[in-house]
Structure 1
């Protein structure tokens, strides 16, 4: 594709060379440069792409996109200066892959907690009616149980170049819908610019990622950007920032909730150990004929109700028939590492969950408190090199809602695991809870299992689906679910 065509949607200045050249590849990683490439210099948290221009040219880059004042002493290389190279990357990638998001139904889900579960619930409902659906998120990039060829680099939302490539790959394989997690970081770093979202979903907002955004106000404002990028916004009306999102959104709004009079409201909720049963009331809609009928989702907890309502709203936003959406609720499956019951021959009650924020841990333990007749034992920790202010809060939440806690390591990264545990312990001490500290996560899980009696419930929180631990700079294999099964034999 001609370079001038790739640049048509952005403001730019030609510093050197010309734009009437053929480009066959785009990269922001100098190690992945191929012949006839354009190299986009991204200024990241740890690496500045401008430092790798010479390497990119050696490997075959014909054009360089810069945002800093850089002198390139090579008359054969085109140099283009832009105000923001991340915005430029998103625009160039979108055009390079021929605006793929306009060819599919695209759903983006944002919020502190629940994103992974909601995108998989939406996928389950769509696939119940043979609507071919791909997912992009924390658990990977997948279409019809097959992983995409594009490598997963970022934890959740891909960089703009990989994202547009994924859209094109999924379309070429026959996908009609793509459902993806949209993180605050992705919104802040322009990864989802030029994405044509049919539906945006907001789950909730609570403390997280302050290490990146600095304040809750900044974090909130990043989340709200999605609702200026989509056609229909599906909003959790029970959340404290819902009204502000609705006020500032530029899209049509469909609300859901339990406590407030939302467009889609769950009523008469009954919580059981292995499921949740509820009715749905529709506000000012022509679906009142469904009101009064019991709906059952075979996954426990209040959070399941919210996630199911979010998925219902998204599917309605895509134009599905309400009767089809409701009928498909029985198809909702456990998402790996989310409220996942670990089956075992000893019939011990064990749940592994990804809850790693104060709000997620509190919701998880409140659900557990409601569904267990015995004691609630919680094994959890906090990640290193992340927001330290939430550790004390999580300690308090776990201490208040659990009968006994074992504080352990999560992903300590480059921090001292014992120091992280002490930060959590500070919250425990404030409410005089019963706990102990075992830094070795395997030993902590083993102790939790030994404490379990017949009707007790063990919650192992923080890592969920993750099959690794990051200690220092080393990533070692570690899966809470595998550890439980090994210990129980």
Structure 2
């Protein structure tokens, strides 16, 4: 594609060089530059792409997009007002506006995004519809799965993924849409058919500063949809969003348990084997069963069923599609062990998520609940004592440990969690090394006890200061059992 075609609809402030150059690839990562590439310089929280221009040229870049006054000989330099804002359009131009050809479904909210997208995909598969998936755990373009590095990829990567999905004959693209991606414009130039709101609880306030900003970031998704917006009517912020988007020319479908909604769950039964409820829609009723226990699981199933309802999928297919999904990696995942106690791995890393999983376990636990958890470094500090209090209130014993401390002192993070636990009467211990913390939990566990390993979920690593180490809790548990624990 010629550079001039690539820059179509982009407001160019100035340029020097040849706009008729043939461009064979685009990237914002200088390490991925190859021959005849356009290198897009964007400023991130830790680095600035403008600092890597020489490296990009050495690797074969023939054109550079900047938002600073920069000149280089031998390459075309194009200056725009904001390169990050221009990047989604450039990506869409290069890959042929692929989201126009996909039925794109976006799911946003603090909790439940991953499981809801998996449920939607499972229903679509049951309906014999081919769907790609983008989210926190992985990216599935149809023929291959790629480990995900962030909930929602950068805009150029998204357009490439959509292009690959179409090449693999996907009809649908189901994706998690993070508040960061909406705020940074990563999903600009994405045409969504359906938007889904799960809930809004405390998380990422280090970035958004307050709940209003956090909600407004999520709300942006519902101005990008064409067919329907699906909103949790039991969530206070969901009801506020409904008020703001009600005048849009896009139908709103609400779902809920406690408040009147278009699609509801009634006659709910929850035990350690899962959930069962009656799905009530404007057109039909049917029984839904899932092997993932907890009230939060009912909400996830309602959200996915609402999407399927909008898409005209019949009730039998919806029921079967939900039932087919036995578990989602790192989401209320029960390990298969030859032990008298159980170990559950869950990604809960925010107050509401931790409270949800502990309440779910409390509903069916016959023995003690032993909770092992920590909080991530370089993230919302305000939630740490809150999570400590939740763990102490809903557990019988708590082991406070490290999560991903990143650049922070892990002992300081633990001390902040302790502030919350100390307001409860729960017994606890602090063991900074996460493997040793899990070891201690397994050593003290008795018959019928449940050990909850919270915070890591699907992650197979730990981020410690300037290094990343392998840390898959499934592997750690297996190693400890082999040690005789």
Q: For the residues of structure 2 that align with 1:468 and 1:52, how far apart are their CA atoms?
A: 28
Which one of 399, 402, 405 corresponds to residue 392 of structure 2?
399
Aligned with 2:236: secondary structure?
A: coil
2:241 maps to 1:237: no
Residue 237 of structure 1 and its aligned partner are, at CA, apart by 0.8
> Where do residues 235-384 of structure 1 align in structure 2 (5 Å cutoff)?
235-249=231-245, 250=248, 251-282=250-281, 285-287=282-284, 290=285, 293-384=286-377
Q: Deviations over 1:177-224 (max 9, x none)?
A: 111111111111111110111111111111111222222222211111
Residue 136 of structure 1 and its aligned partner are, at CA, apart by 1.0
Q: Deviations over 1:297-345 (max 9, x none)?
A: 1221111101111111122233323342234222122001100011111
2:444 maps to 1:446: no
Q: For the residues of structure 2 that align with 1:78 and 1:480, how far apart are their CA atoms?
A: 49
Q: For the residues of structure 2 that align with 1:184 and 1:326, how far apart are their CA atoms?
A: 30
Q: Deviations over 1:4-26 (max 9, x none)?
A: 22222232223323433322221
Residue 162 of structure 1 and its aligned partner are, at CA, apart by 1.1
Residue 80 of structure 1 and its aligned partner are, at CA, apart by 2.1
Aligned with 1:125: secondary structure?
A: helix
Q: For the residues of structure 2 that align with 1:9 and 1:316, how far apart are their CA atoms?
A: 37
Match of 2:88 in 1: 90
Quote the RMSD (CA, aligned, Å): 1.7
Deviates more, 1:473-482 or 1:351-360: 473-482
> Where do residues 14-413 of structure 1 align in structure 2 (5 Å cutoff)?
14-68=14-68, 70-74=69-73, 76-144=74-142, 146-148=144-146, 152=148, 154-231=149-226, 232-249=228-245, 250=248, 251-282=250-281, 285-287=282-284, 290=285, 293-413=286-406
TM-score, scaled to structure 2: 0.94
Deviates more, 1:17-26 or 1:98-107: 17-26
Aligned with 2:422: secondary structure?
A: helix
Unaligned 5+ runs, structure 1: none
Residue 144 of structure 1 and its aligned partner are, at CA, apart by 4.3
Q: For the residues of structure 1 that align with 2:142 and 2:91, how far apart are their CA atoms?
A: 25
Q: Is the 8 A contact 1:198 1:318 kept in 2?
A: no
Q: Is the 8 A contact 2:14 2:80 kept in 1?
A: no
Deviates more, 1:430-439 or 1:179-188: 430-439
Residue 145 of structure 1 and its aligned partner are, at CA, apart by 6.5
Match of 2:420 in 1: 427
Residue 164 of structure 1 and its aligned partner are, at CA, apart by 0.7
> Where do residues 454-465 of structure 1 align in structure 2 (5 Å cutoff)?
454-465=447-458
Query: How many residues were matched structurally?
Result: 478
Q: Is the 8 A contact 1:377 1:405 kept in 2?
A: yes
Q: Deviations over 1:218-266 (max 9, x none)?
A: 2211111110111211111111111221122333211111111111111
Q: Is the 8 A contact 1:199 1:318 kept in 2?
A: no
Deviates more, 1:56-65 or 1:303-312: 56-65
Aligned with 2:140: secondary structure?
A: strand
Q: Is the 8 A contact 1:209 1:387 kept in 2?
A: yes
Q: Is the 8 A contact 1:346 1:488 kept in 2?
A: no
TM-score, scaled to structure 1: 0.94
Q: Deviations over 1:71-108 (max 9, x none)?
A: 3042x533322222112111011111001111111111
CA distance change for structure 1 residues 59 and 476 in 2, over 3 Å: closer, same or farther?
A: closer
4+ residue runs of structure 1 moved beyond 4 angstroms? none
Deviates more, 1:220-229 or 1:429-438: 429-438
Unaligned 5+ runs, structure 2: none
Deviates more, 1:216-225 or 1:293-302: 293-302
Q: Is the 8 A contact 1:344 1:488 kept in 2?
A: no
